[in-house]
Structure 1
Amino acid sequence: MIDIAPNTNGLPGIAALQSVVGALMTVGLICAVLGVIVSAIIWALGANSSNPQLAGRGKSGVLVALGAAIICGASVAAVNFFWNVGQTV
C-alpha cells in the first residue's frame, strides 16, 4: 500500500509560496471590492441618466465582482473539499 500525503517540508520556499498565495488572495479580494464599488456607481449613473445599457453593464459588473470574491474566498475550502473526496476513492 502506498501512503502519500502533502509534505510542507519537501522543498525549500514552500512557506514563502504560501505567503505569496495568501497575499494574492488578499489582492483579489480588494480588487473585487473595488469592482463592486465602481460597478455600483456605473449602475447608479446609468439608472439616473435613463441609460439602460450603462445600467445593465453596471449590474453585470456587480455580479462579476461578487462572483470573483466568492471564488477567491472559497478557493481554499473547495480545494480541501475535493482533496478529501479524492482521498476516499
Structure 2
Amino acid sequence: MSSATLTPSLHDRFVHLAYDPGVSPKGGGLPGLDVLRSIVNSLNLFGIVAVVGALAVSLGVWAWGHHSGGHQAEATGKKGAVVSAGAALGLGAANGIVAFFSALGSQVH
C-alpha cells in the first residue's frame, strides 16, 4: 500500500467541506421563543426612545453652541445628531437587515 492511497485527494477534501449538515432556522423548536421575541422587541423600543432623547440633547447642544459662539459645542452637537440619526436608522432597519442577510446566506451552496 503506498502513502498516496492513505492521504485523501484534493477532491475528497472539497467534498468533505461541501457537506450539508441540514440545519435551517425553524420556529417553535425551543420553548420561550415568544418571550425572547418580546424581550428583543422591548430592547429595540428602549433603544429608539433613548435615541430620541440623545437626538434632542444633541440638537440642543448644537443650537446652544451655534448661538453662543462655542465652536466645540456646535461640532459636538452636530456629531451627536448624526450618530443619533444613524442609530435610529440601524434600530429601525435591524429586522430587515438581518432578514436580508439571512436570505442571502441561505442561497450560498
In which range does the TM-score fall when normalised by the shorter chain? Answer: over 0.9
The match for 1:38 is 57
Query: What do residues 12-67 of structure 1 show as CA deviations (whole Å, max 9, x unaligned)?
Result: 11100000000100011111111111100000000010000000000000011111
Higher relative contact order (CA 8 A, sep 6+): 1
Q: CA deviation at 1:2?
A: 5.7
Question: Among residues 99, 102, 105, which one is paired with 1:80 in the alignment?
Answer: 99
| Structure 2: gaps (5+ residues) | 1-19
The match for 1:28 is 47
Instruction: Describe the SS at the equivalent of 1:10.
Output: coil
Q: CA deviation at 1:10?
A: 1.1
State how far apart, in whole Å, the 1-side matches of 2:103 and 2:32 are.
25
State how far apart, in whole Å, the 1-side matches of 2:22 and 2:92 are.
30
- Tell whether 2:68 aligns with 1:53: no
**TM-score if structure 2 supplies the norm length?**
0.77
Q: CA deviation at 1:6?
A: 1.6
Q: Which runs of at least 4 in structure 1 moved beyond 2 Å after TM superposition?
A: 1-5
**TM-score if structure 1 supplies the norm length?**
0.93
The match for 2:85 is 66
State how far apart, in whole Å, the 1-side matches of 2:40 and 2:26 are.
17
Q: Which amino acid aligns with 1:54?
A: A
Structure ID, larger Rg: 2
Q: CA deviation at 1:5?
A: 2.8
Instruction: Describe the SS at the equivalent of 2:24.
Output: coil
